[in-house]
C-alpha cells in the first residue's frame, strides 16, 4: 500500500467525465498554501469534457483515455499513475466504474463524490429519484472507492432539505455547492487521520 504522507503535498490525479466543477474546486483547494495535495494529472474518458478546460488554464497535464476497451485503458492509466508517482485519486464526476484489478493494482487511496445520501440512490439520476420519492432531504457523500458501485466507507456526508418547490435543476445546484465544500474537507480529514 502506497501510504499518503501527512506533511508532504500528496500527488493527486483527478478523474472526470464532464463539467468539472468539482475539479475546478479541487484545483483551487490544492493551490492553498496549507493544502495537503498537489494536482499533477487529470484523466478524462471524454475528450469533450468541459472540465478539461481547467487543465489548460492551470497548466495541469491531462490525458484523455476513451475506455472503449476498459482493460487496456486501465492498464494505460496505471502506467501513467505509477510514472507520475500518484498516491491519491479523486473521482469527480467520473462516470466509469473502475475494475477491482485497477483498484488493487493502484494500491493508493481512491475517493469519490456522489450526489446523494449514500447508501440511498447509488448510480445515476439521483436527484430525479429523490424528488420522485418525495424525500425530505438529499445531499452528497465522499467515500472510499471499492469495486462495488458507490459503496465504499463513507468519509463525509452532508444533507440539505428538499423544499416544496424544488426541481432537479435547483436541487442539483444546491447539492453541487455542498459537494464543493465537503470534497476538500474529506481530503483533509483522511490525511489528518493517517
CB of 168 to ligand GAR, least distance (A): 12
> What is the spatial distance between Cα 174 and Cα 188, in angstroms, rounded to a whole number?
23
Q: Please pick, from the candidates 12, 21, 35, 46, the single residue that binds ligand GAR as defined by CB under 6 A.
A: 21
Residues 145-164 that bind ligand GAR (CB under 6 A): 150
Provide the minimum distance between the beta carbon of 30 and ligand GAR in the complex, in angstroms, as a whole number.
15
Say whether residue 179 binds ligand GAR (CB under 6 A). yes
Q: Decide: is 176 part of the binding site for ligand GAR (CB under 6 A).
A: yes
For ligand GAR, the closer of residues 53 and 176 by Cβ is 176
With binding defined as CB under 6 A, does residue 139 bind ligand GAR?
Answer: no
Give dist(CA 136, CA 172) in Å, integer. 15
CB of 18 to ligand GAR, least distance (A): 4
- Per the structure block, which three cell numbers stand in for 2? 502506497
Phi, psi values for residue 61, rounded to 5°: -65, 135
CB 162 within 8 A of CB 136: yes
Tell me which stretch binds ligand GAR (CB under 6 A): 17-25, 65-73, 75-83, 162-170: 17-25
CA distances from 167 to 20, 78, 130, 141, 180 (A): 22, 40, 10, 20, 20
The residues annotated as belonging to the active site are 114
d(CA 160, CA 176) in angstroms, rounded, equals: 11
Q: Report the residue number, 64 or 176, with the smaller CB distance to ligand GAR.
A: 176
Of the chain, the end-to-end C-alpha distance in Å amounts to 13
Please give the helix or strand (H or E) that residue 89 lies within, else none: strand 88-91
- 1 or 174: CB nearest ligand GAR: 174
**Cβ–Cβ < 8 Å for 92, 186:** no
Q: Is there binding between residue 20 and ligand GAR (CB under 6 A)?
A: yes
Is the Cβ of residue 76 or residue 96 nearer to ligand GAR in the bound state? 96
Binding site for ligand GAR (CB under 6 A): 16, 18-22, 51, 92-93, 113-115, 150, 176, 179
Amino acid at each position: 500500500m502506497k501510504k499518503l504522507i501527512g506533511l508532504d503535498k500528496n500527488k493527486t490525479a483527478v478523474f472526470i467525465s464532464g463539467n468539472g466543477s468539482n475539479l475546478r474546486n479541487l484545483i483551487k483547494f490544492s493551490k492553498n498554501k496549507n493544502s495537503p495535495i498537489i494536482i499533477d494529472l487529470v484523466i478524462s474518458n471524454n475528450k469533450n469534457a468541459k472540465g478539461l478546460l481547467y487543465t489548460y488554464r492551470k497548466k495541469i497535464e491531462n490525458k484523455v483515455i476513451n475506455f472503449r476497451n476498459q482493460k487496456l485503458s486501465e492498464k494505460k492509466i496505471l502506467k501513467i499513475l505509477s510514472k507520475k508517482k500518484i498516491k491519491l485519486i479523486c473521482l469527480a464526476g467520473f462516470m466509469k466504474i473502475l475494475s477491482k484489478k485497477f483498484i488493487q493494482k493502484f494500491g493508493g487511496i481512491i475517493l469519490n463524490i456522489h450526489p446523494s445520501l449514500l447508501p440511498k440512490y447509488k448510480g445515476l439520476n439521483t436527484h430525479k429519484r429523490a424528488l420522485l420519492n418525495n424525500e425530505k432531504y438529499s445531499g452528497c457523500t465522499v467515500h472510499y472507492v471499492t469495486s462495488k458501485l458507490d459503496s465504499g466507507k463513507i468519509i463525509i456526508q452532508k444533507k440539505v432539505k428538499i423544499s416544496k418547490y424544488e426541481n432537479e435543476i435547483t436541487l442539483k445546484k444546491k447539492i453541487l455547492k455542498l459537494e464543493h465544500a465537503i470534497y476538500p474537507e474529506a481530503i483533509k480529514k483522511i490525511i489528518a487521520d493517517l
